[in-house]
Amino acid sequence: MFYYLDIIGTAAFAASGALAAMRKRLDFFGIFIIACVTAVGGGTLRDILLKVDIAWMRDMNYMYASIVATIFTMMFYRTVKTNSRTLAILDSIGLGVFTIAGIEKGIAGDFVPAICIALGTMSACFGGVIRDMLSNEIPIIFHKEIYATACIIGGVVYFVLWHFDFTHQVYTFAAAMTVVSVRLLSLHFDWQLPNIYGNK
Amino acid sequence: MFYYLDIIGTAAFAASGALAAMRKRLDFFGIFIIACVTAVGGGTLRDILLKVDIAWMRDMNYMYASIVATIFTMMFYRTVKTNSRTLAILDSIGLGVFTIAGIEKGIAGDFVPAICIALGTMSACFGGVIRDMLSNEIPIIFHKEIYATACIIGGVVYFVLWHFDFTHQVYTFAAAMTVVSVRLLSLHFDWQLPNIYGNK
Amino acid sequence: MFYYLDIIGTAAFAASGALAAMRKRLDFFGIFIIACVTAVGGGTLRDILLKVDIAWMRDMNYMYASIVATIFTMMFYRTVKTNSRTLAILDSIGLGVFTIAGIEKGIAGDFVPAICIALGTMSACFGGVIRDMLSNEIPIIFHKEIYATACIIGGVVYFVLWHFDFTHQVYTFAAAMTVVSVRLLSLHFDWQLPNIYGNK
């Protein structure tokens, strides 16, 4: 089941990349490539840092999911845009699943918890960072929304519950749900990180 | 002979990088580094994804070609600029050769055709993408010109001819010529990808 | 002792990243991530190209140094900003140490001197390049300051002294001091690379 969620997350990330590219009025190929980079970029960075095989190069399902999501987004641009709530939910699921996937790959590579959480956060967020860099904007996660913070909190939940001897199923699920909830609640209530600049 | 074309393609890419940097009026070192990144960036990404040795780190000829092309471009800035047609032809040769080189490295790594074509396209286009990102612009291949599309078409030709049992020489040459022709024809006739946004 | 300088250099780079992020008024997380990327980005690229373990993923001291430096910079923003001289000195030490570290890792990987110097320069400068790209600016090292040039000169000193049979301690120290001096002198006297564009 986790695998299917991973694919769904990939598709949701591809759709968000396609939307960003269409807002910049890029051409067909530009939309397609930004969608794919957003979808698989985080996992690629994670796999490069871990020196393991790049996931999407061995398992075509990631590519298929990205391509289908991109074409779907292009065909139903208006529908997708007005259903931003649905997209946000799918996107959060992707965020949660990618965070856990990154953490577990880090554990498999024998890294300490802090590095695993960093890998999970990168897996989940880096795609969006490249998307914004390719569209020539300061990455949104750096200055507007609670995004990476959700991944880090989820990662901490993962290791705390693990430490207290919960089963794998429990702490995996709880951590993923934490990421999803923090992200969705922050969107709903328009939370922002505390302003550190004072009132100037 | 393929190897020499690879070096020529590298030099052409370095020249196009140097031109872009000079248009932004960067300093000597900035021009030099952007030229090198444009020339070897695509191959570097390809080799990282394939987990093989980075080509230019083991074979200095790539570096020499980039350096000579950069110095040449700086010395004959006006000449190079006004001979954009010659540069475009060299650049297309680079595009074709890099696409094939990426595809064949992918085949050597035992990847499926779609991934090989993706690798070939990345090898050929990624240098230009970093060039534009370093110059703080939306990469040109995303919104203006037929560039990656030429690589993808060439890649498809490669595998179709292979499938029909042509010799290695034939399908390699045909695929490279396809990339070059599509690119040059698209430049000459100012082809663009179909507009997907309607008349708004 | 070299190891401690490496940590100090990392901290100085993190502080410079945090300053750049605060100037763009990014949020807490944005500052933190840009600081870390600036601090470890160059070493990460170096280790990926060399296909060795990423240093900061195995040795948490790099992370600790970056985090402490970031928090310090946020707490004492004004103090840090007005002590730009101190920061510049620390930053130059980082530049020198990173250059040598990159060169020596390259030698360990059996690469020719020119490639080792390129690796050293990348180790030292790439963090700053990503910092500027993430802040949506043309990297400063490309058009304003003597930065990479200092690393290259230091690298040449390294190999020349090595060639003339000085001890390891001597040529390492001399090369690092060369980088630091060229950088600090260029800042003090406002040196720039010669203008290659004439008076237009």
pLDDT per residue as tens digits for the range A28-37: 888 888 899 8
B chain contacts of residue A134, beta-carbon cutoff 8 Å: 129, 133, 138-139, 142
Is C169 part of the contact surface with chain B (CB cutoff 8 Å)?
no
Query: Residue C119: what residue type?
Result: L
Confidence of residue A195 (pLDDT cuts 50, 70, 90): low
Nearest partner of A186 among A88, A82, A99, judged by Cα: A88
**Whether C129 and B133 lie within 8 Å, measured CB to CB:** no
Can you tell me the mean pLDDT for B54-71?
90
Query: Residue C6: what residue type?
Result: D
Q: Greatest CA separation found in chain A?
A: 51
The verdict on ipTM greater than 0.90 is: no
Residue C35: both structure tokens together: 């600081």
For residues A84 and A49, is the Cβ–Cβ distance under 8 A?
A: no
Condensed to tens digits (0 to 9), the pLDDT of residues A32-67 reads 888 998 999 988 999 999 988 888 888 889 999 999
Report the C-alpha gap between B69 and B36 in whole angstroms: 10
Q: Lowest mean pLDDT: which of A80-89, B45-54, B152-161, C10-19?
A: A80-89
Residue B20: both structure tokens together: 């872009």
For C72-130, give the DSSP string: HHHHTHHHHHHTHHHHHHHHHHHHHHHHHHHHHHHHHTT--HHHHHHHHHHHHHHHHHH
Can you tell me the mean pLDDT for B79-98?
81
Query: Residue B44: what residue type?
Result: T
Can you tell me the mean pLDDT for C71-92?
80
Condensed to tens digits (0 to 9), the pLDDT of residues C123-136 reads 898 888 888 887 77
Condensed to tens digits (0 to 9), the pLDDT of residues B149-178 reads 889 999 999 999 988 888 888 888 999 999
Distances (CA, A) of A80 to A76, A191, C135: 6, 24, 30
Condensed to tens digits (0 to 9), the pLDDT of residues A68-113 reads 999 988 888 777 777 777 778 878 888 899 999 999 999 998 899 9
Tell me which chain A residue has its CA closest to the CA of residue C136: A138
B chain contacts of residue C194, beta-carbon cutoff 8 Å: 28
Which of A51, A114, A142 lies nearest to residue C26, judging by beta carbons?
Answer: A142
Which of A51, A111, A143 lies nearest to residue C27, judging by beta carbons?
Answer: A143
Q: How many CB atoms lie under 10 A from the CB of residue C149? A: 20
Identify the top-confidence range among B165-169, B196-200, C3-7, C151-155.
C151-155
**Whether C143 and B30 lie within 8 Å, measured CB to CB:** yes
Nearest partner of A94 among A65, A130, A73, judged by Cα: A65
Query: Is the per-residue pLDDT at A200 higher than 60?
Result: no
Condensed to tens digits (0 to 9), the pLDDT of residues C179-197 reads 999 988 888 877 766 666 6
Confidence of residue B112 (pLDDT cuts 50, 70, 90): very high
Domain extent listing, chain A: 2-188
Report the C-alpha gap between B42 and A32 in whole angstroms: 19
Cα A62 versus chain centre, distance: 14
Q: Lowest mean pLDDT: which of A161-170, C123-132, C134-143, C168-177?
A: C134-143
Nearest partner of A100 among A196, A172, A29, judged by Cα: A172
Residue B115: both structure tokens together: 């991934």
The phi, psi pair for C156, rounded to 5°, reads -65, -45
Is B48 part of the contact surface with chain A (CB cutoff 8 Å)?
yes
> A98-126: string of b/e by CB count within 10 Å (b at 16+)?
bbbbbbbbbbebebebbbbbbbbbbbbbb
For residues A120 and A152, is the Cβ–Cβ distance under 8 A?
A: no
